[in-house]
Amino acid sequence: MDQQADQQEVKERTIFEVTVDHFLTPIKEYMDDPAVAEIMINAWDEIYVEKKGKLTLTGAKFADSSAMLAAVNNVLQYTGKRMDPMHPLIDSRLPDGSRVHVVLAPLCRAGTTMTIRKFAKKMFDADNLTKIGTWTEEAKEYIELMVRAEKNILVAGGTSSGKTSLLNVLSTFVPNHQRIVTIEDSAELELQQDHVVILEARMPDRWGRGGVNISELFRSSLRLRPDRVIIGEVRGGEAMDMIQAMTSGHAGSMSTLHANTALSTLNRLETLAMMNPIDLPLHALRSQIASAIDMIVLVTRFNDGRRCLTEIAEVLPLDDNGQYQTHPMFEYKLVGEEGKKGIGTLQWSGIKSIFTDEPKIRVLRDSWNLTKGIFQADTKKDEGSY
């Protein structure tokens, strides 16, 4: 029976894939082009693509508005969703993993619009990010040590800056024997470990029944005995649940959110946490955030299409005035002839890590190669310890 059920599921998935491909024929050449990152269907006869970081109006068109709506409806059906005036903002995904967002009319004055963020078939790895200049070997080693030491990490950046791709890479530093639970609105993460449990939120049906949000999934995940919890993106009140879990012993969690600096990341997280029904005094909330988050990694997309890490910061306790403080470990700097062209490099700030004396960091001292200065390696102090 199980084998028959599996065969039926594969058959249904194949039918969906063929059907979706048929309805998306007008944009198939862009779906197949690996250089295209996003496809923006503003209207049946107005389709833009992002290619190598730049937006271009294409000549692609659907036959008419009805053909476009039929395509939208078929894409949504793949994940069991439908066009519903009561839920006009819809997240979905394509059979290949590409993320889809739909805004129904009349919220969009020009009519229903759909944006497809393509799934990267070529998965970046840590070494590849070094080759293309996203980070340096020193920064890579530092971040890997922090992941292995089970620090709670936020990846921040603007829209389409590569946060999810970077989170995928950071997850490769997690030891393979650990149990990881991932939580997302639409599954995008591609973790390589053997023991991964994937949870995905669900919208309510047309009668408002059966919806499961990120916050509910997160609370459920803590009962699944995770070693790590990775949330694709923090967008709302689930931030409070995540913060409380991080401060109650669930170390090594990771997530992403939209922000432009390390400090604004903490302020943004505070704002999201305040959307939760749990009411905490502001100082108590800030203290929990400063205690929960250990490190912030900022990724930026430049106008020429480059995506680089521009800041890596450790989070300090609140200052005497109850304000957030960060410890900049790596900063993006413009130097030399390349700097005159606006091209910089990620450099160590010269500041020592605040986690130097923690056992989980010092036990990794044999991996301190390029980062000895950051962690103040003292061989005499280490002899016979830990």
- Do 304 and 313 meet the contact criterion of CB atoms below 8 Å apart? no
**Could you tell me the pLDDT band of residue 255, with boundaries at 50, 70 and 90?**
very high
- DSSP class of residue 87? B
Q: Give yes or no: residues 110 and 132 share one domain.
A: no
The whole-number pLDDT of residue 340 equals 59
Element (H, E) at 288: helix 282-292
The pTM (predicted TM-score) of the whole model is 0.81
The last residue of one of the domains, among 117, 140, 159, is 117
Q: Is residue 174 part of a domain?
A: yes
Q: What is the pLDDT of residues 51-102, one digit of tens each?
A: 877 889 999 999 999 999 999 998 888 877 878 787 788 888 888 888 899 9
Nearest residue to 101 (alpha-carbon basis) of 110, 111, 113? 113
- Does residue 62 form part of some domain? yes
| Residue 10 pLDDT class (50, 70, 90 cuts) | very low
Find the angle CA(224)-CA(201)-CA(192) to the nearest 5 degrees: 60
Number of domains making up the chain? 2
| Contact assessment for residue 320 and residue 286, using Cβ atoms and an 8 Å cutoff | no
Q: What pLDDT, on the 0 to 100 scale, is given for residue 12? A: 52
What is the distance between the alpha carbons of residues 247 and 289, in angstroms, rounded to a whole number?
Answer: 8
Q: Are residues 71 and 108 in the same domain?
A: yes
Last residue of a domain, one of 81, 100, 117: 117
Dihedral over alpha carbons 309, 162, 154, 217 (to 10 degrees): -170
In a domain, 316, yes or no: yes
Assess if residue 189 is contained within a domain. Answer: yes
Asked whether the CA dihedral 51, 56, 61, 62 is positive or negative, the reply is positive
Q: What are 349's two structure tokens?
A: 């700030």
pLDDT band at 205 (very low <50, low <70, confident <90, very high): confident
Are 44 and 140 contained in the same domain?
no
Whether 377 has a pLDDT exceeding 60, the answer reads no
User: Same domain for 90 and 137?
Assistant: no
- 243 burial (CB, 10 Å; 0-12 / 13-18 / 19+) is buried
Q: Are residues 90 and 155 in the same domain?
A: no
Position 278 scores a pLDDT of 87
Of these ranges, 73-77, 136-140, 338-342, the one predicted with the greatest mean pLDDT is: 136-140
Nearest CA among 261, 263, 264, 242 for reference residue 253: 242
Regarding whether 279 and 238 lie in a shared domain, the answer is yes
Give 164-168 contacts, CB < 8 A, sequence gap 24+. Answer: 164/188, 164/189, 164/232, 164/233, 164/256, 165/120, 165/124, 166/129, 166/134, 166/297, 166/299, 166/309, 167/230, 167/232, 167/254, 167/255, 167/256, 168/123, 168/124
Side-chain-facing half-sphere of 133: CA atoms under 13 Å: 12
CB 188 within 8 A of CB 207: no
In the chain, pLDDT over 90 holds for what percent of residues?
57
> What CATH number has the domain bearing residue 43?
3.30.450.90
Residue 28 confidence (pLDDT) above 70 = yes
- Asked whether residue 244 carries a pLDDT value surpassing 70, the answer given is yes
pLDDT band at 152 (very low <50, low <70, confident <90, very high): very high
Q: What domain range includes position 70?
A: 2-117
Q: What's the pLDDT band for 3 if we cut at 50, 70, 90?
A: low
Would 74 be classed as within a structural domain? Answer: yes
Of 64, 98, 117, which residue constitutes the final position of a domain?
A: 117
For residue 386, tell me if it sits in a domain: no
Query: Do residues 143 and 108 share a domain?
Result: no
Q: Examine the domain organization and report whether 220 and 343 are in the same domain.
A: yes
pLDDT at 380 over 50: no
For residues 216 and 358, state if they share a domain.
yes
The span from the CA of 80 to the CA of 203, in Å, is 10
The confidence score (pLDDT) of residue 199 equals 92
Residues 157 and 224 in one domain: yes
Query: Is residue 370 scored above 70 in pLDDT?
Result: yes
288 and 176 within one domain: yes
Evaluate whether residue 385 is within a structural domain. no
- Considering the domain architecture, whether residues 83 and 28 belong to the same structural domain is answered as yes
Using DSSP, state whether 12 is helix, strand or coil: helix
- Position 292 in a domain: yes
The enclosing domain of 131 has a CATH number of 3.40.50.300
Q: Are 51 and 35 in contact (CB under 8 A)?
A: yes
- 228-231, strands of its sheet edge to edge: 196-200, 180-184, 228-231, 254-258, 153-157, 295-301, 307-316, 325-333, 345-348
pLDDT of residue 94: 87
Rounded average pLDDT over 117-131? 81
